[in-house]
Amino acid sequence: MKLHIEGRLPFVSATLRFDGRPMMLDQVLLDTGSAGSVFAADAVRDLGIEPAREDLVRRIRGVGGSEFVYSKRIESVSVGEMIVEDFVIQVGAMEYGFPLKGIIGMDFLLATRATIDLGSLEVKASASARSDR
């Protein structure tokens, strides 16, 4: 998948599947500095992703500060040809001062054995990950 550079940051489109329904989100930051994948509550609400009593709530911290998020297990997250099924995401307000619908973090990148090629501005599953399927 091609990376879109905006403000010197790499963005991708991601598709989330929850309760049998897919939703594609643009403006998703590809962030090797983020341990987990986080999505904006406003962006995923139409997919039916909302907090439930049993969801784990915790505080996450990053360069932009800290915020409370809740964990939600969804059917899958995909970026281009890379997909992780039965994936746990974090959901929060994500008010960072610029338009952002989500962050693809190291949890997803490691699970897909992603290769980020800044020369061609692409992210893809490594050849060994593709042959494992």
Which pTM value belongs to this model? 0.91
The C-alpha torsion from 39 through 43 and 47 to 53, rounded to 10°, is 60
Q: Is 11 part of a structural domain of the chain?
A: yes
Q: What are phi and psi of 42, to 5 degrees?
A: -65, -35
pLDDT digits (tens, 9 = 90+) for 80-114: 999 999 999 999 998 877 889 999 999 999 999 99
Q: Could you tell me if 34 and 106 are in contact, meaning their C-beta atoms sit under 8 angstroms apart?
A: yes
> Looking at the domain assignment, is residue 64 inside a domain?
yes
Say if 29 falls within a structural domain. yes
CATH of residue 99: 2.40.70.10
Amino acid at 20: G
Answer yes or no: is 122 within a domain.
yes
Domains contained in the chain, number: 1
Residue 57 in contact with residue 41, Cβ under 8 Å? Answer: no
Residue 94 lies in a domain: yes
pLDDT at 106: 97
Q: Is residue 133 part of a domain?
A: no
Of the chain, the end-to-end C-alpha distance in Å amounts to: 18
Per-residue confidence (pLDDT) for residue 131, from 0 to 100: 44
Place of tokens 């905006």: 6
Domain range enclosing 95: 4-128
Buried b (16+ CB within 10 A) or exposed e, 50-80: eeeeeeeeeeeeeeeeebebbebebeebbbb
